[in-house]
Structure 1
Amino acid sequence: MTVQARLSAMGKLEIPFGVFTLIYTTQLFFTPIFARLVNKIKFNRWVVISLALAIATGALTLSSAFGGEPDEAEENYARGSWAALFAGVCFSLLLCNIQNVFDNYIFKRTESSTTRKPSFASVFEVIIFSSLAATIISVAGLLIAGEQDDLKREMNEFSKGKGAYVMAMVGQAVSWQVYWVGIVGLVFSVSSVLSNVISVVTWPIVSVLVVIFFNFMDDEFDVFKGVALITAVLSAAAYFFRLHKENRDNDVIAN
């Protein structure tokens, strides 16, 4: 988790956000591969269609902007591109490993107990321990690199004051935890593949909300965002149709 976050941040700061998005979307190629190898997940045409539409959704968000985008003089395409690519690989591998933890440890542990069954509390169990480990590693890395002075300077130079800076950081931390509850919850409930699909198809929704509420960096609702919203809906619909079809077939077999 720490490595993925670090690589993702590095990629966003080294290359334009549109380029980063295109490269980072490759996670949707890696997740099915890892899911097949690690989690033994089987695929059908509806999953493939969902993945293809999700890839299109991610690629079409290239027109979105990011506040930390580098100037032309600051761009480093080689380093930023590799960082974005490996960030995508790490995210895919992380999702599949989380599912592996559920399948091979938590579910088996609860199945062996006569009093405890798998519950959504397992999601918080995974998030708490992984976040704690990631926090310790991140803080240690920050102190070793001496970046605490940069944080102090950033807080002192924040235009709205130190209090607003602290509130912004706290809000961001809470938002990320909510995000990970959703991501890990989807892995727990369905699979790492659906979790990855949903995480990507929300990109255009977020970019549209930014345009509506913040007019961020004069970002506009263009044709790319419109098409991305359509492909996002179709991608999610294809996967959920597959789940509906599986449940219906299972009911027929059970009866």
Structure 2
Amino acid sequence: MGEAQELPADNINDLKVENSPENAEKTNKKSSLKHYKWWLQMILYSLFVLAGQSVGTLLGRLYFDNGGKSQWMATLVQVVGFPIMFPFQYFTTPKNHHFDQTNTTNTFHLNLASFYLATGILLAADCMLYSIGLQYLPVTTYTLICASQLAFNALFSYFLNKQNFTPYIVNSLVLLTISSVLLVFQKDPGDANQTTKKKYVIGFLCTLGASAVYALMLSMTQLAFQKIIKKETIRSIVDMTIYQNAIATIVIVIGLFASGDWRRLEGEMREYKLGRVSYVMNLVWTAVSWQAYSVGCVGLVFKVSSLFSNVISIIGLRRRRFWRRVFTGYDDGVEGVAMVLAVWGFVSYMYQHYLDGLKMKEKNSGFSDDDEVGQVALVAERG
């Protein structure tokens, strides 16, 4: 029992081949390919978040500025676009897929269904709160309050996701928060939204509540990937986007009909300042934009973390003002400082991921040539 068993010569030769420099080189190439694929996916999801958020917010503001008054409709378009994801769901399903036995139990399906139901309801409430805030607040104030979701997310990530706050990540969060706070010191010339003091307070509280709920949803999504789903596939991202938005759509449609707001939609479309076609196109492209945003957010949570997904969202809050500055030449100095701080914060966060990548690379590096004989002997002894 205690004696080491001698491996046949053929087995030892096989082990030498497996640990040969050629195989080590192949392993390193696979690792590098996987690394580049991760970065490519992360960039793609980030673009979805940035583009979807910018276009969705601008079209939402355009809807209210040109005669749109239905908060239910403004909420519905944020989630109703999920059917465009069905083709992606079909093409991301493996032809010969076999579900893991651990994921076919009734408990797994019950937990997953409960998660989709809870987050779907939260998403419906969150979208309604954001719609009220966007209707009652100037875009500058709305953007500033939305930035508070970063602080909420940091809190939830610490307790729910065991987020490790390194100095670089803390530096990033501080800089991004300051960058957003600077918005309060400048007046956006394109922001003509005027509202009463009562509606302003309602909009402020609703946007703040929406930011907290959204941050909670991101942390819950990361927790679900870790504890329930446990599958690193694009199909998981698509499924989560579809089911969450489908449940939220059902909840919002019930509210739309229960409130009687649906009766006013025809008149609203008729009186829309830009015309009926523009009214419909606004709603359609708003729905498409928010679906792209949803996929990007879930993808970043899946690939990195809920906190990183929120960091990209905060960067996206600045895009509208940045492009206005580029194309109109408007600049009051504060905008430039805020942009520098935002970029600095983003680079700080990415540098932490670079350091983490180096550590992982060192851990996953293969054995050196000097260790080859020792590995063969170790396997022989364990045999």
TM range (shorter): 0.7 to 0.9
1:222 match: secondary structure: coil
Letter in 1 for 2:276: K
1:202 match: secondary structure: helix
Contact 2:237 2:295 in 1 (8 A): yes
Which runs of 5 or more structure 1 residues have no equivalent in the other structure?
A: 111-117
1:99-178 alignment to 2 at 5 Å? 99-107=222-230, 110=231, 118-178=232-292
Q: From 162, 166, 172, give the equivalent of 1:50.
A: 172
1:31-42 alignment to 2 at 5 Å? 31-42=153-164
Equivalent in the alignment of 2:209? 86
Deviation of the 1:237 alpha carbon: 0.8
| Greater relative contact order, per chain length (Cα 8 Å cut-off, separation 6+) | 2
**How large is the RMSD of aligned CA atoms in angstroms?**
2.2
Q: State how far apart, in whole Å, the 1-side matches of 2:246 and 2:189 are.
A: 31
Contact 1:4 1:91 in 2 (8 A): yes
Deviation of the 1:16 alpha carbon: 3.3
1:41 match: secondary structure: coil
1:149-228 alignment to 2 at 5 Å? 149-210=263-324, 220-228=330-338
1:43 match: secondary structure: coil
Deviations 1:49-70 (A, max 9, x none): 1111111232233444776833
Q: State how far apart, in whole Å, the 2-side matches of 1:244 and 1:134 are.
A: 37
Letter in 2 for 1:253: K
Deviations 1:169-201 (A, max 9, x none): 101110111111111111111000000011011
Contact 2:138 2:192 in 1 (8 A): no
Q: From 11, 15, 21, give the equivalent of 2:143.
A: 21
2:162 match: secondary structure: coil
Letter in 2 for 1:51: L
Larger radius of gyration: 2
Q: State how far apart, in whole Å, the 1-side matches of 2:287 and 2:192 are.
A: 18
CA distance change for structure 1 residues 157 and 8 in 2, over 3 Å: closer, same or farther?
same
Deviations 1:4-62 (A, max 9, x none): 11111212333333333333322111101101111112111111111111112322334
Report the TM-score when normalising by structure 1.
Answer: 0.85
Q: State how far apart, in whole Å, the 1-side matches of 2:198 and 2:208 are.
A: 16
Deviation of the 1:139 alpha carbon: 1.2
Contact 2:129 2:207 in 1 (8 A): yes
Q: State how far apart, in whole Å, the 1-side matches of 2:276 and 2:264 are.
A: 14
Q: State how far apart, in whole Å, the 2-side matches of 1:220 and 1:95 are.
A: 35
- Per mean C-alpha deviation after superposition, the further-off stretch among 75-84 and 142-151 is 75-84
**Count of residue correspondences:** 241
Letter in 2 for 1:175: S
Report the TM-score when normalising by structure 2.
Answer: 0.58
CA distance change for structure 1 residues 104 and 144 in 2, over 3 Å: closer, same or farther?
same
Q: State how far apart, in whole Å, the 1-side matches of 2:192 and 2:262 are.
A: 19
Letter in 2 for 1:149: R
Contact 1:156 1:162 in 2 (8 A): yes
Deviation of the 1:102 alpha carbon: 1.1
Contact 2:324 2:330 in 1 (8 A): no
Which runs of 5 or more structure 2 residues have no equivalent in the other structure?
A: 1-122, 366-383
Deviation of the 1:248 alpha carbon: 0.3
Residues 1:7 and 2:129 aligned together: yes
Q: State how far apart, in whole Å, the 2-side matches of 1:65 and 1:173 are.
A: 27
